[in-house]
């Protein structure tokens, strides 16, 4: 994982912590998930391009099952976009880079 992507724990998913990050896309994933592994390099590219506009973060649901339960994540990858600490939208499944960028840019 690159230094441009934050690795969050369930305890980091508080409204205050997320609000401090501004606009943040949180990818709920697991190491055994094929589609999650397909999306990982795409998120690296998106993180580099979003430099300053949005933060990209990941939560490993194997290590943080309570976080997945808290946000009702039942399939992975699930990406939840938080704006000022509140959930603005979610995207489920492996999506191409353009769709992820549009998803982030389309939410204020």
The catalytic residues are 33, 36
Query: Got the DSSP string for 45-90?
Result: HHHHHTTTT-EEEEEETTT-HHHHHHTT--SSSEEEEEETTEEEEE
Residue 3 neighbours by CB under 8 Å, 6+ apart? none
């Amino acid at each position: 994982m690159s230094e441009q992507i934050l690795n969050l724990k369930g305890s980091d998913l508080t409204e205050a912590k997320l609000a401090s990050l501004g606009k943040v896309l949180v990818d709920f994933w697991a190491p055994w998930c094929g589609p999650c592994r397909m999306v990982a390099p795409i998120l690296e590219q998106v993180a580099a391009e979003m430099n300053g506009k949005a933060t990209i973060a990941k939560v490993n649901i194997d290590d943080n099952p309570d976080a997945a339960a808290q946000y009702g994540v039942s399939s992975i990858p699930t990406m939840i976009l938080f704006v000022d600490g509140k959930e603005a939208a979610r995207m489920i499944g492996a999506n191409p880079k353009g769709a992820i960028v549009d998803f982030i840019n389309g939410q204020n």
